[in-house]
Amino acid sequence: MVLLSAQSQAHDSEAAREELCRSYWYPLYAFIRRRGKNPEDAKDLTQGFFLSLFDRKALAQVTPLKGKFRSFLLAALKNYLSVEFHRQQTIKRGGDFEFVPFDYDVGDDRYTNEPSDALTPEKVFDARWAMTLLEITMVQLRAEYESRGKRATFDTLKPFLDFGSREELPTYDSVAAKLQIGQGAVKTLIHRLRKRHGQILREEVGRTVTDSEEIDDEIRALCDAFVAAEAIVGSS
């Protein structure tokens, strides 16, 4: 799991912690905002939560829900917010952990543009988690195509991976003309793109569960959450 690498004392643990923070800060930040916190308090609480997460003593007080890093992280955040509420004291900064800079301006824009709805913060968190995994997958897939000198191919075919998009897909004829290949080759490229996308997504989900047999169940749960909150994740 991601958490195991991030909390270890191995030489690459710092990089793992930074990756974890950069990847998953927004679902946590948005959850805190939906609990009624203003932007500044939410920023402090998000940073403070990561500090507590990487404190071995703090982690020892939280029991992970077996198999799902997503569930563990949300449970740990709720516990942290509860402790902070009852303590009613300023978050302590310092220690050996260096803050990872987050793009809060972009985060605030995303959150402000989200429509009001009746979904619980937990449901929205799951949907945002799903969106985060899709974004990570897309970044890795783009990098693979770039490394093979096929960035133009990726950019042309990318609309066929925008599952939540309401825009009309380009025709095979237009893609074939742009890439200067036949329609049959276009279909093959799209099939390969989607297949590789699915493989990377499974790898990413696999990093957030303790048992590979839980990957399919986690993907189904995230798909359900994504569909339930489609108006939110598709608005920013």
100-130: pLDDT as tens digits: 666 666 666 666 655 555 578 888 898 889 9
206 token code pair: 């696999």
pLDDT value at position 204?
92
Q: What is the dihedral of CA 148, 151, 137, 10, to 10 degrees?
A: 50
Rounded CA separation 35/155 (Å): 38
Residue 100 phi, psi dihedral angles, 5° rounding: -90, 125
Is residue 134 over pLDDT 60? yes
pLDDT value at position 100?
61
Q: Is the dihedral of CA 44, 7, 142, 212 positive or negative?
A: negative
Where residue 32 falls among pLDDT bands split at 50, 70, 90?
A: very high
Rounded CA separation 117/124 (Å): 10
Instruction: Write down the residue that tokens 């909150």 correspond to.
Output: 229
Cβ-in-10-Å burial (0-12, 13-18, 19+) of 56 comes to: exposed
pLDDT value at position 160?
94
Are 156 and 178 contacting, i.e. CB atoms less than 8 angstroms apart? Answer: yes
153 token code pair: 């191919």
Average pLDDT, the chain: 79
Other Cβ atoms within 10 Å of 213 Cβ, number: 9
State the first-to-last Cα distance of the chain, in angstroms, to the nearest integer: 29
Rounded CA separation 153/59 (Å): 45
Where residue 138 falls among pLDDT bands split at 50, 70, 90?
A: very high
Rounded CA separation 57/59 (Å): 5
The closest of 132, 88, 124 to 230, measured between CA atoms, is: 124
Helix (H, G, I), strand (E, B) or coil at 39: helix
Other Cβ atoms within 10 Å of 212 Cβ, number: 10
Mean pLDDT of the region 12-21: 75
Is residue 51 over pLDDT 90? no
pLDDT value at position 231?
55
